[in-house]
Amino acid sequence: MTVSLEVVETTVTARRPLDVAMSLQPLQRGKGDPCHRRTADGSIWRTSVQKSGPVTYRITQIDRHSVRCQAWGPGAHELSTGLGRLVGDHDDCADFAPDHPILVEAHRRFPHLRLGRTDRVMEALVPAILEQRVHGVAAFASWRRLVRKFGGPAPGPAPDGMRLPPTADVWRRVPSWEFHRANVDPSRSRTIVRCAQVADRLEKIVDLPREEANRRLMSIPGVGIWTAAEVSQRALGDPDALSVGDYHLAAVVGWSLLGKPLDDAEMVEYLAPLQPHRHRAVRLLEVSGQAVKPKFGPRTALVDHTWH
């Protein structure tokens, strides 16, 4: 690790209570994510490549309303400028008015839930593509292997083992056999490369209206409604981005709120009154521990693409 860089320190005091660990948790891609680490003191360490360059940053909760960020690297000032958005200080839930008792209670118990936004599209898009149609455990393992091999060194005093997420230029040049060794099938690897080839255009969706941003994402072959929603949740902080097509989500929503499974179409219809806060409702189910789905059979098998 490199420790000689100047540190940029920033403090954000939010208008409403926030929980920085809860806000940033969706950015972590499994245990051992080389780009995300929570240390024993409760601090969250992350790496990113901003427009201005790479950055390592450490975010610490000071009190219910305040967080402190220490950042190192060429992208430190840019990251610090967007700290409020990252931790969700922009997030407005004033018109969120659920009527289901479970959601009402979850909203009451977790007033500090904030939906942050990173403004970094490729850093959300590549992991989402890796998670298409495979078990999360396998996708996280692929992410770890690829980042450790192709991600750059984290600037500043990053914890051991942390790496930068690969840039679009790097993703464009990853050989097909390296994707194969990381258990990524050709369909997903080709989608990653296609996205990397138009990364500059995709990064600009952070300034577009939500519908137009989703259309631009889904104009890329291999990027569908589920992947676009996963990106919108993280890069854009979209409170309404519902992950339609998720293997578990519709059933979880149904069992949690109605005591029976739903399919995607039924979930979309049932959650329609909660627009524009459908993703917020799902997050409240998750953080409150109220997301349930009975087990009726064997777990989904992990698929190994490396032997093909």
- pLDDT, tens digit, 9 for 90 and up, residues 203-256: 999 999 999 999 999 999 999 999 999 999 999 999 999 999 999 999 999 999
The predicted model gives 294-303 an average pLDDT of 53
Classify residue 109 by burial, with Cβ atoms within 10 Å: 0-12, 13-18, 19+: middle
Q: How far is CA 65 from the centre of its chain?
A: 23
pLDDT level of residue 305 (50, 70, 90 thresholds) = low
What are the tens digits of pLDDT across the range 262-292? 999 999 999 999 999 999 999 999 999 999 8
Which residues make beta-bridge pairs with 69? 10, 59
The per-residue pLDDT for 5 is 80
Cα distance between residue 236 and residue 238, in whole Å: 5
> With contact defined as beta carbons under 8 Å apart, do 56 and 156 qualify?
yes
Residue-level pLDDT at 213? 98
- Domains contained in the chain, CATH given: 7-92 (3.30.310.20), 121-235 (1.10.340.30)
Q: What pTM value is reported for the model?
A: 0.93
DSSP 3-state of 234: helix
